[in-house]
Chains A and B, each alone.
Chain A
Amino acid sequence: MVRRVLNVLVSYRHRSQFQSLRRWRGGDFRRMVRIIPYETLRHRPGLPAGAYLFTNLEMLPQRMFERVAQVAAGIRETRPDALIFNDPRFVKRRYALGRALHVEGINSFNMYRADECGTPQQWPVFLRGEKDHYGGDPELIAGPEELDRAMQAEHARGRDSSRRLIVEFRDTCGADGYYRKYGVFRAGDRLVYRHCLFDKKWVVKVPRDEPTEEQYEEELRFLDQRPHSDLVMRAFEIAGLQYGRIDFGMRDDGIEVWEINSNPTAVSRRVPKGARRWEITQKVVGEVADAILDLARQGVGQPRVPSRALLSIRPRHWRRLMK
């Protein structure tokens, strides 16, 4: 009997991603992967044996993020050889990643925080929340005056400007009038090419229509040929993430990374439209699950983490008792 050897740490509200993967795959996956909500960490007597995978880091509020970073530090201190994936202390979240990718020359566009008092170098731009994943349909802003007006409206709506991003828009529309969003999973050293989504709108989120035959073929070519794998891996390395899904667009000479999600949806609750897409989904999700199981196997033989590793995040009354 294989023990649970991969501890996935995730916020309680967003645990469904891994839960649905566990349900979908069952068997070994269910036995080897344990889900631990961040909210329970400070009351646990220690952490179970195995490897640790921190997820959902870009969504955490400040206090929870700091608690999670302290947990990672505690694990490392008490078990120097512990296997930690997505160590929050070294992960770059959306803004830091966007800046770093621009500096490294992977992205040709830059982003700014709304309270930075900086002027974008390229127009148009759009506004988004630092933690938005759903994103809505932001409007493109053509110039400084329009941006001022948009910022005024943001102020009036009561948005925290320190958490709003001004992102330079990069047009990656194809000659056929479709925007493409490519998705690739990373789990450890493996890259799993997940999908290519098509949309007439530039915010490509959920495909509204069933893809055409040509689009299927194009997606299959993308999955088979695995383009730009070196750049994709480099982007993950810059982000400090060993697990997650990168969303990107392509230009002639490279990629434009939109974001990396450390708690991506592998299996959607909705069955995708079209039998062929379902076929692709089953194949690719199977590969993602296999890659996660490979991570889990690396955790075999790793000892548990003692209670003292969590001392810094204990409630105050608990810390007093320990003294």
Chain B
Amino acid sequence: MLRAFVSSRHRFQLRRLRTCEPNSLRSRLRLVSYESARYRLGLGGGAYVFTNLEALDTRMTERACQIASAIRDTDPDAIILNDPRYVMRRYELLRDLYRAGVNSFSCCRVDEGVMPEQYPVFLRGESDHRGAAPKLLRNESELRVALAQPESLNVDRSRRLIVGFVDTREAGDPVYRKYAAMRVGDEIIAGHINFNEHWMVKLKRDLTPAEAAIQQEYIDTNPHRDEIMAVFERARIQYGRVDYGVGENGIEVWEINSNPTYSSQSNEAKRVHWAQFAPVMQKVAQALARIADQGAGRPGVPSRALRPIRPRWWRNLAR
């Protein structure tokens, strides 16, 4: 059994995977919401994976850490993927990758009070995944103007990042590519490539036959496996999807999402994409199933171990 912790608002991703791959996962994957964990009468045995960590607020992050501690205290050999006590989240990861020379760009928080050394940059929230195509800011004065806009003033500035921009297009190619690869346990699975004329490669459009061929080759050859595994190792993440580009200096990592999206065949336009992505989902599901099988027979977590995360009234009752 694999028990996946996820916030209730974002559990549809793993549900979709389970629905699409019922043979591998229906009886092996259980979802536990972070919100409900504190009211549970213990946790069943198996392997555990913590997801969605970059979207949790401080209180929920600390609760996730306490759950991980309780699991580890109960069973020192427990299989825990993405232990929230050690996982690097977006800001820390980007800083670390820059220092390690993997990325050629860095980031800083708005409230650090320092101006970036390199431009262009863009602004984004520390937990944003959707990112509504922010404007590229070419110099310090443009950045200062952007920081004085309501979108920057009316938010928590300690959670807003100034991120360096790197153009990873090949010379003469107008299209940006965003590569995505999954890690599940010890496996790296090449996922897909998004192509777009806009640098914020989020919205998928139809693939041209040439692009479909490039994507298929990427999925088949998995060319950046070792570099990607090294990045996941640095981030201490065993389950998630890394989004990256490939520039002159090698890979440039944009982010790691510990609760990645799984496509569905929602419309005809995505037919080509779906045809290529369905086998990827199958590989992910099978890898998760193998981890679930490794967790078979492991002890669960008794109710008393969850005491630190209980509501106060519950703790008072238990005295």
Digitize B146-161: 1 where CB-to-A-CB distance is under 8 Å, 0 elsewhere.
Answer: 0000100111111100
A103 touching B62 by the CB < 8 A rule? no
B62 touching A70 by the CB < 8 A rule? no
A158/B86 contact (C-beta < 8 A), A66-B155, A103-B113 known: no
A63 touching B57 by the CB < 8 A rule? yes
A319 — which chain B residues lie within 8 A by C-beta?
Answer: none
Q: How far is the CA of A132 from the CA of B62 in the complex (A)?
A: 15
A96 — which chain B residues lie within 8 A by C-beta?
Answer: 111-113, 157-158
Q: Chain A interface mostly helix, strand, loop or mixed?
A: helix
A115 touching B91 by the CB < 8 A rule? yes
Within 8 A of A (CB), among B136-178: 150, 153-159
Distance from B152 Cβ to chain A, minimum over Cβ atoms (Å):
9
Digitize A55-73: 1 where CB-to-B-CB distance is under 8 Å, 0 elsewhere.
Answer: 0000001110110011001
Distance from B114 Cβ to chain A, minimum over Cβ atoms (Å):
8
A117 — which chain B residues lie within 8 A by C-beta?
Answer: 92, 95-96, 99
Digitize A195-220: 1 where CB-to-B-CB distance is under 8 Å, 0 elsewhere.
Answer: 00000000000000000000000000
A283 — which chain B residues lie within 8 A by C-beta?
Answer: none
Is B61 an interface residue, CB under 8 A from the partner? yes
Q: How far is the CA of A24 from the CA of B178 in the complex (A)?
A: 63
B62 — which chain A residues lie within 8 A by C-beta?
Answer: 158-160
Distance from A57 Cβ to chain B, minimum over Cβ atoms (Å):
11
Is A156 an interface residue, CB under 8 A from the partner? yes
A115 touching B89 by the CB < 8 A rule? yes
Is B40 an interface residue, CB under 8 A from the partner? no
A115 — which chain B residues lie within 8 A by C-beta?
Answer: 88-89, 91-92, 95
Distance from B144 Cβ to chain A, minimum over Cβ atoms (Å):
14
B85 — which chain A residues lie within 8 A by C-beta?
Answer: 155-156, 158
The CB with the most chain A CB atoms within 10 A, among B89, B114, B153, B159, is that of B153
A162/B111 contact (C-beta < 8 A), A62-B159, A93-B158, A155-B86 known: no
Distance from A42 Cβ to chain B, minimum over Cβ atoms (Å):
15
Is A54 an interface residue, CB under 8 A from the partner? no
Within 8 A of A (CB), among B93-123: 95-96, 99, 109, 111-114
Is B84 an interface residue, CB under 8 A from the partner? yes
Q: How far is the CA of A62 from the CA of B185 in the complex (A)?
A: 32
A-B pairs with the 9 shortest C-beta distances?
A: A158-B65, A96-B111, A115-B92, A89-B153, A117-B95, A99-B113, A69-B154, A62-B156, A160-B61
State the B residues within 8 Å of A (CB). Answer: 57-59, 61-62, 64-66, 68-69, 84-86, 88-89, 91-92, 95-96, 99, 109, 111-114, 150, 153-159
Interface pairs (7), CB distance under 8 Å:
A62-B156, A69-B153, A89-B154, A115-B91, A156-B85, A158-B62, A163-B58
